Amino acid sequence: MQTREVTRRLVPIEDAQVELGGISRTTLYRLIDDGHLIRARIGRRAFITGESLANYINGLTA
């Protein structure tokens, strides 16, 4: 049996904060400004790309 991780393409800001251990909105936006995470906007809503979030988390554990 194979295990496959499913990554959402767009993660809401609030969910990304939780995924990163409950960091503050300010810290999350600092990670965006520093180029660690990629933000996407749809209308007024902001999201983090699932790929950039997964890459950042994988980089922390490497």
CA 58 to chain centre: 11
pLDDT of residue 8: 82
pLDDT, tens digit, 9 for 90 and up, residues 8-48: 899 999 999 999 999 999 999 999 999 999 999 999 999 99
Domain parsing of the chain, residue ranges: 10-61
For residue 2, what pLDDT band results from cuts at 50, 70 and 90?
low
3-state secondary structure (DSSP) of residue 46: strand
pLDDT of residue 61: 79
50 Cβ contact partners less than 8 Å away, ≥ 6 residues apart: 7, 8, 9, 10, 11
